[in-house]
Amino acid sequence: MPSVPHRIDGPVAVIGDVHGQTDKLRKIIAQLAKLPDISRRWIVFIGDLVDRGPDPAGTVKLYCDLAKQHNKVTWLCGNHELAMACSLGLIKTPEFVDFSQRWLSHYDAHTTFESYGIPHGDLKALREALPEEHATLMSDLPWSIEHSDFLFVHAGLDRNLPFETQVRILRERDYSLSHPPWLYSKDFIHIGPPMDCPVTIVIGHVPLPKVQFGNGMICTDTSGGVGGELSCVLLPEKHVITSGGSGPQSNVATDINRQRNDSASAQRKPWWKPW
C-alpha cells in the first residue's frame, strides 16, 4: 500500500491538475484557509502537479509545505507523475517500457527540468537535483484515493470492467503497464463509470472550460496547465473555488457557517502560514 494517504473520510477539497501553476495554487490555498471547517477537511490533489506550467518544482514544494502544516493532505498519481518517476528510476519498470522517451518528447517536461535548474533531457542531473522529499513522494503516490462517497482516480474508470476489480488493480499499482488506463485514458470522461459503481468518481486529466458534474462523475481539470483558472471542488457541497475568485461562493459560506464551533479561532489562527 502507498505511504501517501489513500483512504480518507469526511469533507474534501479536491484540486484539479495544477501542472506547475504555483501562483494559482497559492490563491486556491488562501481561499481554503478561510473555511471554518478547514481543520477537518481533506485536501486532495487529483494529480499532474508537474510539467507544462511554469513552476513544477515550486508546486511540489508547496504541496510538501502544506502537508507539514495540515495533516489531511494527499496527492493522487497522474500520468505526468508516473512518467517522471519511471523516467528517473524512482519506480522499477520493465525494460520494454520506455517511459523516458515518452516523457521527454510528449509531456512538456522541459518546464520541470527548468524549474529544478537542469537542462531539458538530462535525466541523471535531474535525479541528483531532485530533493529526496520530492523523490520519495513521487515514487509512492496512490493510483486511487478511496472515500465512502467518492473514488478519486486521475482519468476515471473503465465502464466495461466491474468496479471492485478495478479498485483492486488500482490498489496494487501494476508498473508493468505502459499506459495504465486509469491514469491515461481520455475516453472515460465521456462514457462514465461502470454500472455497478457505488460512489461518485472524481477525476482530472481532461481539461474542460469549467468543472463538470454529471454522469456519475465530477471532472475537475479546468486549465490543463496552459490557460484558464485552476479549480477546487468542495465535497460533499459540490461548490467550486477558482484561482480567479476571492473566496467561496456565498451559498458555500452559508452552508459551512452552520458548522461554526471553531470558526473564530480558525480565522484568527489559520492552519497555513504565508509563503
Tell me the domain boundaries of the chain: 12-268
Q: What whole-number distance in Å separates Cα of residue 84 and Cα of residue 104?
A: 9
pLDDT number for residue 247: 60
**pLDDT, position 227:** 86
Task: Give the integer Cα–Cα distance in Å for 15 and 191.
Answer: 23
Can you give the pLDDT of all 275 residues of the chain as single tens digits?
A: 678 999 999 999 999 999 999 999 999 999 999 999 999 999 999 999 999 999 999 999 999 999 999 999 999 999 999 999 999 999 999 988 889 999 999 999 999 999 999 999 999 999 999 999 999 999 999 999 999 999 999 999 999 999 999 999 999 999 999 899 999 999 999 999 999 999 999 999 999 999 999 999 999 999 998 989 999 999 999 999 999 986 655 334 434 444 444 444 434 444 455 33
pLDDT recorded at residue 96: 87
d(CA 108, CA 52): 5
Class of the 12-268 domain? Answer: alpha beta
Please give the model's pTM, rounded to 2 decimal places: 0.90
Give 202's DSSP letter: E
pLDDT at 245: 84
Radius of gyration of the chain from its Cα atoms, rounded to whole angstroms: 18
Residue 122, all three cell numbers: 538530462
Helix, strand, coil % over all residues of the chain, rounded to 5: 35, 15, 50
Q: Which residues contact 32 (CB under 8 A, 6 or more apart)?
A: 13, 38, 41, 43, 232, 241
